[in-house]
Chains A and B, each alone.
With several copies, the nearest count.
Chain A
């Protein structure tokens, strides 16, 4: 592609249409993309000028890096444009095909009667269970990057707070070592430690440490008998909500 053959006005039109679409769909105006376009337009002018004038030069490495970044954006724009053209071609094919009707007829009776008798082993209840499954609203599959492939299982701070509260309910002080004795992973230890900090802030527990780096003794104060894990600060719970199980599941 010769850069000098690109009509900037056309690219501009297309880009404006491109960034307007989210807007038309009621989404936020893509300000960052709009500003990217200004950079792109400047770059295009830059490139055109450089190509048209033999003396035109790229000045320094920073400029080159910038140009590369703009190239990327430009390449994406061109790619989108290519798909748009292809879509138009495919649309034409679909229209052309709509004029042809396939032979779509039922099997003639003498052949239909040859089909093997259906094996049917569904009771009405089993069939209803099938219907329930088929009719249940399906969760929209997540658009975000999934976490399920991460091998570390997710650990809920809320859940760990509940567990420790139960352990401390008797009123005797327990060392942190004891509190994490059944922790299977480091993540659980971390979650319990974070939970303790939260509970401490709410004055639900007290800490005693006889000497620096000594055993940490944790005691349920009893002051906040009705302390619940949902006392955990909202922003904290919010941040971790992705990793948490619903509270009802714990109680």
Chain B
């Protein structure tokens, strides 16, 4: 960080500590918005906090506030740290009356602020997908095949995992599917198995981004899909 700072001269010298971000027009929330305008990846709360010179917690609260504001709620929510997964809340109900005590519905914006892959990012609101998609030339990749989805699911829940193990679970060779998933940036290599020397794979940040979730913890629980097999782990690892 030090060597980068001396490598340029913004001229205004305004990045010296002491400039209170709250004094700027729009305050700290607007400062966060300004940063979110120039990023092409999800930005972590700590990066944002460092840039605006505030604590991570305060920044987290401000971000939740912006998120709610864009979604059409105004007034204070129930404080910071609530509804981290509020990003998944999706579109608010337009006709809903008063949301809660001290809160009013206003018109939602055409964009939303969401927490994905451990960071925050501005997205167009999905209601306008059919309109926006005409302007996005190169952004969307093709849909995944059933085979790719299943392979991705196994890797997501068993990571780090070798291809051989994924093959064993899916019952078919997964080499080419794994290659495709890696090319698409959804999975990546992560070292080798200590015993077998086989390459191991894990999901990427981009995978979380594409799913619209903040971390792998938000994936659906596997257990409910495995009724009554609490001891599955016993079978699971012993057989490969």
The answer to A–B direct touch (Cβ < 8 A) is: yes
How many chain B residues touch A (Cβ–Cβ < 8 Å)? 80
Instruction: Please determine whether B38 and A18 come into contact, CB atoms closer than 8 angstroms.
Output: no
In the bound complex, what is the Cα–Cα distance between A242 and B236 (angstroms)?
30
Binds B, one of A38-46, A52-60, A76-84, A160-168: A76-84
* Those of B217-240 within 8 Å (CB) of chain A: 218-222, 225-229, 231-232, 234-236, 239
The reply to whether the CB of B14 lies closer than 8 angstroms to some CB of chain A is: no
Q: For the complex formed, measure the closest distance between the CB of B15 and the CB atoms of chain A, giving whole angstroms.
A: 11
Given contacts A79-B169, A116-B142, contact A99 B222 (CB under 8 A): no
* Those of B107-166 within 8 Å (CB) of chain A: 111-112, 114, 121-126, 129, 132-133, 136-137, 139-144, 146, 149-154, 156-158, 163-164
Instruction: Please determine whether B122 and A103 come into contact, CB atoms closer than 8 angstroms.
Output: yes
Most interface-central of B133, B141, B170, B196 (chain A CB within 10 A): B170
Q: Which residues of chain B have C-beta atoms less than 8 A from A103's C-beta?
A: 36-40, 111, 121-124
Instruction: Please determine whether A110 and B129 come into contact, CB atoms closer than 8 angstroms.
Output: yes
Nearest A residue to B132 by beta-carbon distance?
A101
Q: For the complex formed, measure the closest distance between the CB of B128 and the CB atoms of chain A, giving whole angstroms.
A: 9
Instruction: Please determine whether B38 and A120 come into contact, CB atoms closer than 8 angstroms.
Output: no
The reply to whether the CB of A202 lies closer than 8 angstroms to some CB of chain B is: no
In the bound complex, what is the Cα–Cα distance between A85 and B27 (angstroms)?
37
Instruction: Please determine whether A100 and B149 come into contact, CB atoms closer than 8 angstroms.
Output: no
Most interface-central of B7, B140, B163, B182 (chain A CB within 10 A): B140
The reply to whether the CB of B96 lies closer than 8 angstroms to some CB of chain A is: no
Number of contact residues on A: which range applies?
A: 35 or more
Most interface-central of A89, A105, A114, A140 (chain B CB within 10 A): A114
Q: For the complex formed, measure the closest distance between the CB of A115 and the CB atoms of chain B, giving whole angstroms.
A: 6
Q: For the complex formed, measure the closest distance between the CB of A201 and the CB atoms of chain B, giving whole angstroms.
A: 35
Our pick among B112, B139, B153, B194 for the contact of A86 (Cβ within 8 Å) is: B153
Produce 1/0 per residue, A1-29, CB < 8 A to B: 11000000000000000110110010100
Q: Which residues of chain B have C-beta atoms less than 8 A from A130's C-beta?
A: 149-150, 153
Binds B, one of A143-151, A181-189, A213-221, A225-233: A143-151
In the bound complex, what is the Cα–Cα distance between A96 and B90 (angstroms)?
10
Binds B, one of A121-129, A191-199, A203-211: A121-129
Nearest B residue to A81 by beta-carbon distance?
B225
Q: For the complex formed, measure the closest distance between the CB of B130 and the CB atoms of chain A, giving whole angstroms.
A: 8
Q: Which residues of chain B have C-beta atoms less than 8 A from A140's C-beta?
A: 175
Instruction: Please determine whether B136 and A94 come into contact, CB atoms closer than 8 angstroms.
Output: no
Instruction: Please determine whether B143 and A131 come into contact, CB atoms closer than 8 angstroms.
Output: no
The reply to whether the CB of A178 lies closer than 8 angstroms to some CB of chain B is: no
In the bound complex, what is the Cα–Cα distance between A22 and B156 (angstroms)?
23
The reply to whether the CB of B210 lies closer than 8 angstroms to some CB of chain A is: yes
The reply to whether the CB of B51 lies closer than 8 angstroms to some CB of chain A is: no
Given contacts A86-B225, A100-B126, A133-B150, contact A138 B40 (CB under 8 A): no
Instruction: Please determine whether A79 and B236 come into contact, CB atoms closer than 8 angstroms.
Output: yes
Q: Which residues of chain B have C-beta atoms less than 8 A from A79's C-beta?
A: 169, 226, 229, 232, 235-236
The reply to whether the CB of A106 lies closer than 8 angstroms to some CB of chain B is: yes
Instruction: Please determine whether B225 and A106 come into contact, CB atoms closer than 8 angstroms.
Output: no
The reply to whether the CB of B66 lies closer than 8 angstroms to some CB of chain A is: no
Nearest B residue to A149 by beta-carbon distance?
B197
Q: Which residues of chain A have C-beta atoms less than 8 A from B219's C-beta?
A: 86, 90, 124, 127-128, 131
Contacts A/B (CB < 8 Å), 26 sampled: A1-B227, A2-B228, A75-B235, A76-B239, A80-B171, A83-B150, A86-B153, A86-B225, A89-B220, A94-B144, A97-B212, A101-B124, A101-B129, A102-B209, A103-B36, A103-B111, A103-B122, A103-B123, A103-B124, A105-B37, A108-B38, A114-B137, A123-B211, A124-B212, A134-B151, A144-B164
Known: A117-B142, A124-B220. 6 other contacts (CB 8 A): A1-B228, A83-B169, A86-B222, A87-B149, A120-B210, A145-B164
- Which 10 A-B pairs have CB atoms at the shortest separation, nearest pair first? A1-B228, A146-B197, A99-B129, A131-B153, A82-B225, A99-B126, A128-B220, A116-B7, A1-B227, A134-B150
